[in-house]
């Protein structure tokens, strides 16, 4: 294993010595922040970019992209967070501290005391606290540009439609909704209101996932044959939680965590499935699985011939990983779908010894996935760009999850007509300019 942050080597030099191709070297060494420092944005020029002096540029910093250029607080876009549960309080609110274009300006909650406390902690004006009844009056609040919906899945539709009608852009948590019909209504509502809609597929903004995508597009593993992806956890016994109620969650492990595997095989290949088969099982008598499924396995065939094998469960010990098997090498992230601590490994034959395998552990600097996705949404609003993960990306996952359930229930293989082109449900890659 090689530590790519080893003091005596630059990242570029060490990557070269590990035998990774030059394209990989530039791909990883040039990984920069999702928002380029050089573009002017709404309301005037960006502040000039700070450059390191030679004394401040140790060799380990080579290729890091330099310090990020952030907008001053008064020019960042304001986010209203709807739903102050675990994800909002443990991940999203703290991530604003790492944002460069986004800031929290409003809260929407059914619990006024909690909202007041959070507003105090994050310097949010108490006049910008809403409840679920007066949410629509956010229309009149110029402090709010974007609404981030972090509610149980069945509530995403209502709060997207009301938010778009109030003239705000919408960032919505995954899964997008509980059905394809709801997804379509969300897309239509945002289109009608001429507002942007982005689904919070955080992994698609993570540097590790982006590095693997680049590797595959550059054919650095040869021809990709198989992708294996697993995402599951042993769900708690708290039977009151909304995740175990079909009406609120839409399903069990599949839409909650299995969606990461499905989405990953789509963005890694850039293709859309042509065949899906699946199996599903819930332990009889386990009260957690009265309404929602425990475990699902599914297989996908993509038009290029790539096969995907995925598993998801609310019953197995936490595992969150994928491995891509190519003709010349394999690459994996393990964990892949966690909020942090992602680890990338690439294995290929040694160029010098046919009996030896070069296994390279690639470490990349960690960035907050939530900060990256929120800054991407702000960047899209500022530059009037289509988000990389728009409503159509969420709708496609729901269409495929419906096929996975159907395949599991009927034992049949569900087929789809081939879709030509890559990344057809996605907007421009994060960081690209308009």
Taking the CB of residue 8, how many other CB atoms lie within 10 A of it? 8
260 is catalytic: yes
Q: Tell me the residue length of the chain.
A: 434
Contact with ligand NAD (CB under 6 A): which of 83, 252, 273, 391?
A: 83
Binding-site string for ligand NAD from residue 7 to residue 36, where x marks contact by CB under 6 A and - marks none: ------------------------------
Q: How far is the CB of 115 from ligand NAD (least distance, A)?
A: 10
Closest to ligand NAD by CB, 271 vs 294, is: 294
Give the Cα separation of 46 and 39 in Å (integer): 7
Q: In what order do the strands lie in the sheet with 357-362?
A: 357-362, 344-349, 329-333, 319-326, 224-232, 307-313, 295-301, 275-281, 414-415
Matching residue, tokens 């982005």: 198
**Binding range to ligand NAD, per CB under 6 A, among 24-32, 81-89, 273-281, 410-418:** 81-89
Contacts of 298 (CB under 8 A, 6+ apart): 258, 262, 276, 277, 278, 279, 310, 404, 407, 408
Closest to ligand NAD by CB, 33 vs 256, is: 256
Closest to ligand NAD by CB, 340 vs 415, is: 340
Taking the CB of residue 306, how many other CB atoms lie within 10 A of it? 22
Question: Using CB under 6 A, which residues numbered 112 to 171 contact ligand NAD?
Answer: 150-153
| Nearest partner of 215 among 364, 114, 335, 416, judged by Cα | 364
Binding-site string for ligand NAD from residue 238 to residue 277, where x marks contact by CB under 6 A and - marks none: ----x-----x-------x---------------------
| Nearest partner of 361 among 379, 374, 342, 375, judged by Cα | 342
Q: How far is the CB of 183 from ligand NAD (least distance, A)?
A: 13
**Binding range to ligand NAD, per CB under 6 A, among 49-57, 82-90, 215-223, 312-320:** 82-90
40, 46 Cβ separation under 8 angstroms: yes
86 lies in the site for ligand NAD, by CB under 6 A: yes
Per-residue tokens: 88: 């909002």
Binding-site string for ligand NAD from residue 173 to residue 212, where x marks contact by CB under 6 A and - marks none: xx-------------------------x-x----------
How many residues at the interface with ligand NAD, by CB under 6 A? 18
Active-site hit among 174, 314, 339, 367: 174
Give the Cα separation of 400 and 92 in Å (integer): 28
Contact with ligand NAD (CB under 6 A): which of 84, 193, 212, 400?
A: 84
Give the Cα separation of 28 and 15 in Å (integer): 9
Q: Please report, as ranges, the residues that interact with ligand NAD according to CB under 6 A.
A: 83-88, 110, 150-153, 173-174, 200, 202, 242, 248, 256
**Annotated catalytic sites, by residue?**
174, 260
């Amino acid at each position: 294993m090689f530590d790519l942050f080893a003091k005596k080597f630059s990242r570029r030099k060490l990557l070269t010595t590990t035998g990774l191709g030059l394209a990989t070297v530039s791909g990883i060494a040039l990984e920069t922040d999702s928002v380029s420092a050089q573009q002017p944005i709404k309301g005037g020029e960006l502040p000039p970019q700070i450059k390191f002096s030679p004394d401040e540029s140790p060799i380990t910093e080579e290729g890091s992209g330099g310090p990020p250029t952030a907008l001053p607080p008064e020019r960042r876009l304001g986010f209203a967070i709807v739903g102050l549960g675990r994800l909002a309080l443990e991940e999203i609110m703290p991530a604003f501290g790492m944002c460069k274009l986004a800031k929290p300006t409003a809260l929407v909650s059914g619990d006024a005391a909690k909202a007041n406390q959070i507003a105090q902690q994050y310097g949010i004006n108490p006049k910008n606290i809403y409840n679920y009844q007066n949410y629509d009056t956010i229309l009149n609040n110029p402090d709010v540009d974007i609404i981030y919906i972090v509610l149980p899945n069945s509530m995403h539709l209502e709060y997207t439609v009301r938010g778009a009608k109030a003239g705000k852009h919408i960032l919505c948590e995954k899964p997008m909704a509980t059905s394809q019909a709801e997804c379509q209504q969300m897309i239509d509502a945002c289109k009608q209101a001429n507002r942007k809609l982005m689904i919070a597929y955080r992994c698609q903004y993570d540097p590790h996932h982006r590095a693997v995508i680049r590797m595959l597009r550059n054919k650095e593993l040869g021809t990709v044959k198989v992708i294996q992806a697993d995402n599951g956890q042993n769900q708690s016994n708290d039977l009151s939680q909304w995740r175990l109620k079909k009406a609120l969650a839409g399903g069990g492990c599949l839409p909650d965590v299995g969606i990461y595997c499905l989405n990953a095989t789509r963005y890694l290949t850039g293709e859309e499935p042509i065949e899906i088969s699946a199996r599903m099982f819930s332990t009889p008598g386990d009260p957690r699985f009265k309404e929602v499924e425990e475990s699902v396995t599914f297989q996908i065939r993509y038009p290029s011939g790539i096969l995907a094998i995925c598993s998801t469960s609310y019953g197995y010990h936490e595992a969150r990983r994928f491995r891509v098997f190519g003709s010349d090498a394999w690459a994996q992230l393990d964990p892949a779908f966690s909020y942090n601590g992602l680890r990338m490994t690439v294995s290929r034959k040694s160029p010098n010894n046919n009996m030896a395998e070069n296994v390279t552990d690639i470490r990349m600097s960690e960035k907050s996935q939530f900060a990256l996705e929120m800054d991407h949404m702000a960047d899209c609003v500022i530059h009037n760009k289509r988000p990389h993960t728009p409503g159509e990306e969420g709708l496609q996952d729901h269409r495929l999850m419906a096929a996975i359930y159907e395949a599991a229930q009927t034992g049949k293989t569900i087929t789809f007509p081939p879709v030509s082109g890559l990344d057809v449900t996605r907007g421009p890659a994060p960081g690209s300019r308009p």
